């Protein structure tokens, strides 16, 4: 607990933006017979040369058929030099160690326990102190649950790397879809269960955690089996069976998060997207898995002064893909949860974009800009909606 007095804890305001899926206290037990297969993965632990920090993610996916009664993740940071860099969970987790943390144990709340097919994210704040040159440190992660039936996918390792590479560092955060949705005033609003034959919307956020702006974005969306786009969108190309589509936004430039200090300059460090889809009427209730959102940068812009994107490229000019500093967080999977008709209902109407995860990337932008003093904005255009991290709350 001494760690809470270190300089990093001045960033505590940013931690309030986290999802609240994990806590320092154990989750209450649920009903028996909850054996399932939980899988742990880690993404986003490489930091661009001149970026002050970023957020990485520990992802726990439920590959089984039951919801676990308990879940914890232990993060070993004993090899990290906290005089140079901090690696701290966004959620309120239990630290080990005196002068500097050696490990953190994070317990899922009851709301944070992933149902079949669902994924819960534990965000990690990576924040540089005084680092010259490059730096690496090993990290290890362990999933703890009495209900887990497959220990083979319960551990993961990653290398915390402060690199000497400059460039954009895109991250995508996609939410599981758990409710039906309809479009109200240009935004998706979630309410009630999603049934076979129903309609909802996939929502996700793309943010630039690097040290250079990107001139545009290329986004590829894979839909789960049984889900099809509700309509064709401009700038998107669709596979023959409509299961995959790729959208190229040559004029959607993103500046780095820690350079996004002016709310009125129309330069953005993150965008929120949504795509409306239909669920087939013959789909069986349950989790429709296999959904994936992937993003690539198109071109780089080394300075903010040049970051305003062209509205349209000339016909003889083609955007080129830029190297991404850390492509481990360029994709995020999602599931669509379909409920049989006559169920208990899916709750009240929700916020228009992504729920809990949307605030996480914005939170690190606030952190590296002095304890939550700045928030990112995203462009309000067709298929792109406004995100303010402090306003995001879970919708299910």
Same domain, 107 and 176: no
pLDDT at 119: 93
CA 296 – CA 299 distance, rounded (Å): 10
Same domain, 355 and 226: yes
CA 259 – CA 167 distance, rounded (Å): 13
Backbone angles phi, psi at 271, to 5 degrees: -125, 145
Same domain, 222 and 283: yes
Q: Which of 129, 145, 162 is the last residue of a domain?
A: 162
Q: Which of 132, 162, 192 is the last residue of a domain?
A: 162
User: Quick check: is 189 in a domain?
Assistant: yes
User: Quick check: is 396 in a domain?
Assistant: no
pLDDT at 269: 83
Tell me which of 381 and 244 has the higher pLDDT. Answer: 244
pTM (2 d.p.): 0.81
Angle at 201 between CA 200 and CA 205, to 5 degrees: 155
* 143-161 per-position pLDDT tens digit: 999 999 999 999 999 999 9
Domain residues for the domain of 309 are: 170-389
User: Quick check: is 208 in a domain?
Assistant: yes
DSSP 173-189: EE--B-S-EEEETTEEE
Q: Which of 162, 180, 197 is the last residue of a domain?
A: 162
Angle at 43 between CA 48 and CA 70, to 5 degrees: 145
* 24-65 per-position pLDDT tens digit: 676 666 656 689 999 999 999 999 999 988 889 999 999 999
Among candidates 90, 117, 89, which has minimal Cα distance to 103?
Answer: 89
pLDDT at 204: 86
Same domain, 198 and 138: no
User: Quick check: is 16 in a domain?
Assistant: yes
Give the chain's domain count: 2
Tell me which of 301 and 377 has the higher pLDDT. Answer: 301
* 292-310 per-position pLDDT tens digit: 999 999 887 765 544 454 4
Sorting pLDDT into bands at 50, 70 and 90, what band is 130?
A: confident
Sorting pLDDT into bands at 50, 70 and 90, what band is 111?
A: confident
* 270-293 per-position pLDDT tens digit: 888 889 999 999 999 999 999 999
Same domain, 62 and 121: yes
Residues 6+ apart with CB under 8 A from 264: none
DSSP 144-161: E-TTB--GGGSEEEEEEE
Burial 195-221, CB ≥16 within 10 A → b, else e:
bbebbbbbbbbbbbbbbbbbbbbbbbb
Same domain, 293 and 152: no
Q: Do residues 191 and 349 lie in contact, with contact meaning Cβ atoms separated by under 8 Å? A: yes
Same domain, 151 and 218: no
The answer, yes or no, to whether residue 318 has pLDDT greater than 60, is: no
């Amino acid at each position: 607990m001494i760690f809470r007095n270190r300089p990093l804890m001045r960033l505590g305001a940013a931690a309030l933006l986290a999802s609240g899926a994990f806590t320092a206290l154990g989750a209450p037990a649920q009903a028996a017979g909850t054996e399932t297969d939980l899988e742990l993965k880690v993404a986003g632990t490489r930091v661009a040369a001149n970026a002050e920090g970023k957020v990485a993610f520990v992802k726990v996916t439920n590959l089984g058929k039951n919801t676990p009664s308990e879940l914890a993740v232990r993060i070993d940071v004993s090899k990290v030099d906290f005089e140079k860099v901090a690696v701290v969970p966004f959620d309120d987790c239990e630290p080990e160690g005196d002068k500097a943390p050696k490990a953190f144990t994070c317990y899922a709340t009851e709301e944070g326990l992933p149902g079949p097919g669902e994924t819960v994210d534990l965000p990690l704040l990576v924040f540089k102190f005084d680092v010259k040159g490059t730096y690496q440190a090993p990290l290890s992660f362990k999933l703890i649950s009495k209900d887990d039936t497959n220990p083979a996918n319960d551990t993961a390792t990653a290398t915390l790397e402060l690199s000497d590479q400059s460039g954009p560092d895109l991250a995508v955060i996609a939410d599981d879809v758990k409710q039906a949705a309809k479009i109200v005033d240009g935004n998706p609003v979630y309410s009630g269960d999603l049934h076979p034959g129903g309609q909802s919307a996939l929502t996700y956020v793309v943010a630039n955690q690097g040290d250079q702006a990107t001139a545009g974005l290329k986004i590829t969306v894979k839909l789960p089996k049984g889900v099809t786009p509700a309509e064709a969108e401009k700038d998107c190309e669709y596979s023959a069976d409509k299961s995959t589509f790729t959208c190229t936004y040559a004029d959607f430039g993103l500046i780095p998060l820690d350079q996004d200090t002016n709310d009125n300059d129309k330069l953005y460090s993150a965008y929120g997207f949504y795509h409306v889809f239909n669920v087939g009427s013959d789909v069986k209730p349950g989790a429709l898995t296999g959904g994936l959102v992937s993003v690539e940068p198109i071109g780089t812009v080394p300075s903010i002064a040049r970051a305003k994107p062209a509205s349209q490229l000339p016909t003889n000019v083609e955007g080129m893909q830029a190297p991404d500093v850390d492509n481990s967080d360029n994709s995020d999977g999602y599931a669509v949860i379909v409920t049989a008709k006559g169920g208990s209902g899916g709750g009240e109407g929700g916020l228009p974009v992504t729920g809990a995860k949307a605030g996480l990337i914005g939170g690190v932008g606030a952190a590296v800009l002095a304890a939550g003093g700045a928030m990112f904005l995203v462009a309000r255009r067709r298929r792109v909606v406004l995100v303010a991290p402090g306003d995001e709350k879970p919708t299910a």
